[in-house]
Structure 1
């Protein structure tokens, strides 16, 4: 059976805490066209990009980041 839809998932703790290290996982399965994945942490007026990645095939990555 051919996959008609792409599947996108990003997981991270629901309660990130300042000064702690957290883990984020991103998964894209079966992209039908190239996509640019950008994951940004927003706290108040500050924005920090955690991951920027061009994706054109199945992708799975977990990484640690400092809050």
Structure 2
């Protein structure tokens, strides 16, 4: 099983702070596209997307 690491931060967009998290596998496969996970909008939590973080163990980057 592959190990992963994650970074979290905020970016500014149109005067607002937007949170993001990137989960990277230790052994990333350049042939695999990253998975971009977007929640349903303002006020909607993203917790239902968190299980998708496990996909990073398959050598694919996951971005929330």
TM-score bracket for this pair, using the shorter chain length: 0.3 to 0.5
TM-score of the two chains, using structure 2 as the length reference:
0.37
- What TM-score do the two structures reach when normalised by structure 1? 0.36
